[in-house]
Amino acid sequence: MSETLPPCPHCSSEYTYEMGALMVCPECAHEWNPEEDQANDSSIIKDSVGNILADGDTVTVVKGLKVKGFPQDIKVGTKVRNIRLVPGASDGHDIDCKVDGFGQMQLKSSVVKKVL
């Protein structure tokens, strides 16, 4: 074979193969369209340690955050449940969420860590 196939984006296995228009990983059974993956790479949002975030995830705050109009800060370790991603936010606040005790707000993905 003259062409090399890309590794699995899910488990990084090098034993992927083509099945029609899809790529398939025999180790984890993940199927994907490589053309769609290239188009969606810019919309992938990662947390502060590199985990890929998705709508509905639970995250924890890894850095104390000051909030205008509130006498207290959002403390390190605060859990935020059921986040909603906002890709392409110009100000960098790419997570919409409700923080207990503070209400609805937007956070940057660089100050949160996904709860696994």
pLDDT for residue 13 is more than 90 = no
Which of the residue ranges 32-36, 56-60, 76-80, 81-85 would you say has the lowest mean pLDDT? Answer: 32-36
The mean pLDDT value for 69-91 works out to: 90
Q: Which of 87, 93, 108, 85 is nearest to 40 (CA)?
A: 87
Question: Is pTM, for the whole model, over 0.85?
Answer: no
Backbone angles phi, psi at 39, to 5 degrees: -75, -30
pLDDT of residue 53: 92
